[in-house]
Structure 1
Amino acid sequence: MDKKELMTKILKKEIVKALGCTEVGLIGYTIALCKPENPYEIEKINLTLDKGTFKNAFSVGVPNTNGFGILPAVVGGLLGDAEKRLLIFDGIEYSKELEGYIKDRLKIDVVDGDIYCKVVIKTKNGETKSTVIKGSHLNTKEEDEELKNAFKSLGLSDFLEYIEDIPKEVEDIILETIETNKELAKSEYLKLGNDELSYIVEKTTSACYERMKGTNKPAMAIAGSGNMGIMATMPIIAYHEINKGKDIERLIKSLTLSALVTIYATYHSSYISSMCGCVNRGGLGALCGLCYYIHGNDTNKITEAVKSFTANLVGIICDGGKIGCALKLASGCFAVYSSLFAEVPPNNGIVGKTFEECVKNISRIGHAMKPVDDEIINILKNKK
């Protein structure tokens, strides 16, 4: 498989439409895969989640349920159509009565590891059904790992070469991403002013806020995260809008570069981590895409911007999906925008000499922060 074919395959795999936080979607989808025909026949549901899925689902809004957290995600899965996968909550008619019935029959365990969601449902007639999804939100296969490792061997020059001749099927995905994510950005969650940066912050945070409160509108997730997809796209889309951009081809190239960088950074780290991926990985993608939009195919400009970004917000924690994520994305927007105008030499902190070295150093910090999740989980479990 040549590099272009590899990147096309990865983009098609990692940019997907999701309704609500992808972790509650994962829970709902896994439940739907093994649910009984009559949910009131359920005697017990054992739900086992990795730490990242638990924390991301703990406080987030679930579309079409008027609820927040894991319980409405489980109930939504019992009411949803498994064929819709990460759009599982689309069109459901929620039942508070069923929620009350399931509440005392649901047991949740949390385990170490990457994405993991196991459901075991026992019914009153003695039947047991179970399903496991692991490695990614839609299951990881051996082929996926091979693709992932091959993609990790690429670099910035490969991505810049790819976006100069984007396949039509990828262009269509990017156009759908623009329209889908713009639909989420129509409120004014954080209105700061009328300047360029304020508009970028407003549009990006509005989309995130709507998604985290459970608005019934999908987002285009990138590398397993809708918020990461929003962070990787909305700053560039907002910049294009406020500057009355007419070059849609340039916008598509910029967003494709952002997606490639976001996925690359995620593969070097993980889908869910102790470090906020929306800021550190989606932000890195947005920075590269925005720098390309402004300066064109200038490797030096993009690399210098990445060095400045690496010196800034790396290490900001992920304490789960929630409305407050919108404020983290605001910080990400400031970091992206300011990095376009600053220069930080590679002898500063964890800043690397190249784009690839910066990504790997950020990833190392993310892996070193894994114990932070234990304390975050303990805090969440002790909430009343």
Structure 2
Amino acid sequence: MKDELITQILKNEIVKALGCTEVGLIGHTVAKAKPKDPYSIEKITLILDKGTFKNAFSVGVPNTGKFGIIPAVVGGLLGKKENGLEVFKDIKYDENLEDYIKNRLKIEVIDSDVYCKAIIKADKIYESETKGSHSGKSISSELKNTYKTLKLKDFIEYIEDIPEDIVNIIKQTIEVNKNLSTPELPKDFMKLNLKDDILNHMIKKTTSAVYNRMIGMNKPAMAIAGSGNMGLTATLPIIAYDEITENDKEKLIKALTLSALTTIYSAYHSSYISAMCGCVNRGGIGAVSGLSYYIFGENRIEESIKSFTANLPGIVCDGGKIGCALKIASGVFSIYLSLFSNVPYNNGIVGKNFEECIKNIGKIANAMSPVDDVIIEILKNKNL
């Protein structure tokens, strides 16, 4: 029963997404509600949760050459609802349609979990709603709460005999996320050439993928717990480490599965989107778990998580944007540093074990909720 639950969670929480999952959420929701003729639209009301508004505000939208919420809406009007979170796949952007729509679009921001509703007034009222998760396929609260009671040892036991369908998902994740890491991010954005070859490769591989995704490159990512950047952070440091060291595919698959499990576990203890940067904190916890397992086996995972807990939790999420690549660079350095550090239990929010560390970070993430209001106020007041 426990293994069945874990398998179900993984299948639901590891999904392919093209572009930032929040613009994908907007585009897909609009695509589900659009009339046949977009030029018949008189008004579009878009209702978004705070996190979706924040993360879609400045991020690139694939196949549009644009950034932000308006091209996500237009992309949704041009895309196919059947493509889900890859709604922008194969679209040909229409500048005239953007000009037509932008003065007919009204955006409302509400306090909610992941939520997007599109109300389109044309020849009649068209409505569509996505809630609970970016894909709309939600795990029940009962199953989430059961998953939250699991221990690190349950995840370790699971990865020793991974079901074949999950192995295939992880193999797809390796292929998709590696593909997004090329080309390398431009040197005029970030110049980095560390003498530590392993760390240098880990940072470049991960930050390049995040940068490419944030500018709206037409390549998908395998998102974990609702976030593509979280999926990239949880996987690419481990993939990069494997490339430059052992090239042990069996160990890599186990490490990545553990990373996904602990990333999801961390998300369930806070939320899919929060005022705390989930990519660094939740994805970082996943990468620390997986890397520690890859290098040391199961013996040092808790010590590594304690060290990570003592370092970066609390880093603010101010929305999806190319600057996320810099935060991820800091995150990867912290991930690597935590593998070789020891921080005792009496330090700050460090827990006595893996589970307590995650719960403490989650408590802080939840307490930071009012910070989102300030960030959204800043974004709304930008003169772009």
TM-score range, shorter chain: over 0.9
1:236-275 matched pairs, under 5 angstroms? 236-243=238-245, 245-275=246-276
- Please give the alpha-carbon distance, in whole angstroms, between the structure 1 residues aligned to 2:157 and 2:112: 35
Q: Which amino acid aligns with 1:51?
A: K
Deviation at 1:188, TM superposition (A): 2.4
Verify: 1:221 aligned to 2:218, yes or no.
no
Residue 202 of structure 2 corresponds to 200
- Please give the alpha-carbon distance, in whole angstroms, between the structure 1 residues aligned to 2:135 and 2:237: 28
Matched-pair contact (CA < 8 Å) for 2:344–2:350? yes
Residue 171 of structure 2 corresponds to 175
- Counterpart of 1:133 (choices 130, 134, 144) is 130
Q: Which amino acid aligns with 1:104?
A: N
Which sections of structure 1, spanning at least 5 residues, go unmatched? Answer: none
- Please give the alpha-carbon distance, in whole angstroms, between the structure 2 residues aligned to 1:200 and 1:138: 29
1:365-380 matched pairs, under 5 angstroms? 365-380=364-379
User: For residues 270-326 of structure 1, what are the alpha-carbon distances to aligned partners after superposition, in whole Å with 9 as ceiling and x for unaligned?
Assistant: 00000000000000000000000001132xx11011000000001000000000000
Residue 317 of structure 1 corresponds to 316
- Please give the alpha-carbon distance, in whole angstroms, between the structure 2 residues aligned to 1:93 and 1:188: 26
- Please give the alpha-carbon distance, in whole angstroms, between the structure 2 residues aligned to 1:121 and 1:305: 50
Deviation at 1:187, TM superposition (A): 2.3
Deviation at 1:145, TM superposition (A): 2.0
Deviation at 1:193, TM superposition (A): 3.2
SS of residue matched to 1:132? strand
1:151-170 matched pairs, under 5 angstroms? 151-170=147-166
- Please give the alpha-carbon distance, in whole angstroms, between the structure 2 residues aligned to 1:155 and 1:318: 28
Q: Which amino acid aligns with 2:256?
A: L
Q: Which amino acid aligns with 2:349?
A: I
- Please give the alpha-carbon distance, in whole angstroms, between the structure 1 residues aligned to 2:331 and 2:7: 27
SS of residue matched to 2:64? coil
Q: Give the number of equivalent residue pairs.
A: 377
Residue 277 of structure 1 corresponds to 278
Verify: 1:47 aligned to 2:46, yes or no.
yes
SS of residue matched to 2:160? helix
- Please give the alpha-carbon distance, in whole angstroms, between the structure 1 residues aligned to 2:273 and 2:236: 21
1:275-314 matched pairs, under 5 angstroms? 275-298=276-299, 301-314=300-313
- Please give the alpha-carbon distance, in whole angstroms, between the structure 1 residues aligned to 2:142 and 2:134: 17
Deviation at 1:140, TM superposition (A): 5.2
- Please give the alpha-carbon distance, in whole angstroms, between the structure 1 residues aligned to 2:142 and 2:83: 27
User: For residues 137-180 of structure 1, what are the alpha-carbon distances to aligned partners after superposition, in whole Å with 9 as ceiling and x for unaligned?
Assistant: 12255x62222111111010000000000000000000000000
Deviation at 1:247, TM superposition (A): 1.6
Residue 32 of structure 2 corresponds to 33
Moved segments of 4+, more than 4 Å: none
Matched-pair contact (CA < 8 Å) for 2:42–2:104? yes
- Please give the alpha-carbon distance, in whole angstroms, between the structure 2 residues aligned to 1:349 and 1:69: 38
Matched-pair contact (CA < 8 Å) for 2:292–2:339? yes
SS of residue matched to 2:223? strand
User: For residues 170-200 of structure 1, what are the alpha-carbon distances to aligned partners after superposition, in whole Å with 9 as ceiling and x for unaligned?
Assistant: 0000000000000011222244235111110
1:93-108 matched pairs, under 5 angstroms? 93-108=92-107
Matched-pair contact (CA < 8 Å) for 2:12–2:137? no
Residue 109 of structure 2 corresponds to 110
Deviation at 1:23, TM superposition (A): 0.2
Which is further off, 213-222 or 189-198?
A: 189-198
SS of residue matched to 2:35? coil
Deviation at 1:116, TM superposition (A): 1.0
SS of residue matched to 1:220? strand
Q: Which amino acid aligns with 1:14?
A: E
- Please give the alpha-carbon distance, in whole angstroms, between the structure 1 residues aligned to 2:250 and 2:141: 32
Deviation at 1:113, TM superposition (A): 1.4
Which sections of structure 2, spanning at least 5 residues, go unmatched? Answer: none
- Please give the alpha-carbon distance, in whole angstroms, between the structure 1 residues aligned to 2:129 and 2:77: 16
Deviation at 1:57, TM superposition (A): 0.1
Q: Which amino acid aligns with 1:120?
A: I
Deviation at 1:369, TM superposition (A): 0.5
Aligned CA RMSD, in angstroms, stands at: 0.9
Deviation at 1:131, TM superposition (A): 1.2
User: For residues 88-110 of structure 1, what are the alpha-carbon distances to aligned partners after superposition, in whole Å with 9 as ceiling and x for unaligned?
Assistant: 00000110010000010000011
- Please give the alpha-carbon distance, in whole angstroms, between the structure 2 residues aligned to 1:140 and 1:357: 29
- Please give the alpha-carbon distance, in whole angstroms, between the structure 2 residues aligned to 1:247 and 1:383: 48
- Please give the alpha-carbon distance, in whole angstroms, between the structure 2 residues aligned to 1:148 and 1:117: 21
- Please give the alpha-carbon distance, in whole angstroms, between the structure 1 residues aligned to 2:6 and 2:159: 10
Matched-pair contact (CA < 8 Å) for 2:17–2:222? yes
SS of residue matched to 1:318? coil
